[in-house]
Amino acid sequence: MQIISFSIIQTWERFYRANFINCLTGFKSVNLVGTLHKNGQPNLGIFSSVVHIGSDPALIGYINRPVKAAPHTLANIQSTGVYTINHIHSSFLEQAHQTSAKYPDGVSEFDEVGLTPEFLENLPAPFVKESKVKYALTLEEIIPIKLNDTFLVIGKVQQVCLEEHIVLPDGFLELDKVSSICSNGIDGYYSTRLINRYHYAKPGERTTRMTK
């Protein structure tokens, strides 16, 4: 095993460090966030920092980089109060990654990368039509993280749109059945395979696998 200290990490070249540190968190959720500019222009961005905040009510967060580095999604959310989070599947992974390019204001990433905006029930935020698990949120709170000028953006789930066959009788979603992907680092994407589900753990009992 190799041991690396903070003082060594600080000497590294910027992209080497970004790759390394972004991998430390492990395999992570990666999604497309859809928003609408107040002039009606759709916007789509890829985010690998979506995090569960709570189930009752259903609150989901993501980390937005500093305004200077990533202004459009945050400004649109502040303006309309609504946004969508869309799972990425292997079938449109290259288009999803391409949304990370720094397109100028006034350009729709949907058009540029070849994905289809979809509007459901008059919500002022575009879903990704190609996505098989997606949901709309209303903004609840933007919490500034002063340590590095990022933001924790928290929304409440208002509407979920998904392929019904992946919902198990206990509410669990078989995301591997629709090839939702996960990511590692800043540019690696992975498919997944179920190892197992386990019963609710209790002290003094051995962990047991769920029968499928």
Strand partners, 29: 182
Binder among 49, 79, 80, 91 for its own copies (CB under 8 A): 49
Q: Are 183 and 170 in contact (CB under 8 A)?
A: no
Q: Per rule CB under 8 A, is residue 206 in the interface with its own copies?
A: yes
Q: Per rule CB under 8 A, is residue 177 in the interface with its own copies?
A: no
Binder among 39, 40, 68, 195 for its own copies (CB under 8 A): 195
Question: How far apart are the C-alpha atoms of 159 and 58, rounded to whole Å?
Answer: 11
Strand partners, 141: 154
Q: Are 41 and 106 in contact (CB under 8 A)?
A: yes
Question: How far apart are the C-alpha atoms of 201 and 4, rounded to whole Å?
Answer: 35
Site residues (CB under 8 A) for its own copies, limited to 107-126: 107, 112, 120-121
Q: Per rule CB under 8 A, is residue 133 in the interface with its own copies?
A: yes
Binder among 37, 79, 140, 142 for its own copies (CB under 8 A): 140
Binder among 39, 57, 122, 211 for its own copies (CB under 8 A): 57
With CB under 8 A as the contact rule, which of the stretches 34-42, 76-84, 129-137 interacts with its own copies? 129-137
Binder among 100, 108, 139, 142 for its own copies (CB under 8 A): 100
- Left, alpha or beta for 121 (phi > 0: left; psi -120 to 50: alpha)? left
Question: How far apart are the C-alpha atoms of 79 and 68, rounded to whole Å?
Answer: 17
Q: Per rule CB under 8 A, is residue 98 in the interface with its own copies?
A: yes
Site residues (CB under 8 A) for its own copies, limited to 2-21: 2-6, 9-10, 12, 14-21
Q: Per rule CB under 8 A, is residue 148 in the interface with its own copies?
A: yes
Give the rounded distance of the alpha carbon of 154 from its chain centre.
Answer: 12
With CB under 8 A as the contact rule, which of the stretches 34-42, 48-56, 73-81 interacts with its own copies? 48-56
Nearer to its own copies, 39 or 201 (CB): 201
Structure tokens at 28: 């992570």
Q: How many C-beta atoms surround the C-beta of residue 36 within 10 A?
A: 22
CB of 72 to its own copies, least distance (A): 13
* Size of interface with its own copies, in residues (CB under 8 A): 116
Look at strands 28-29 and 51-55 and give their pairing. Answer: unpaired
Question: How far apart are the C-alpha atoms of 39 and 20, rounded to whole Å?
Answer: 39
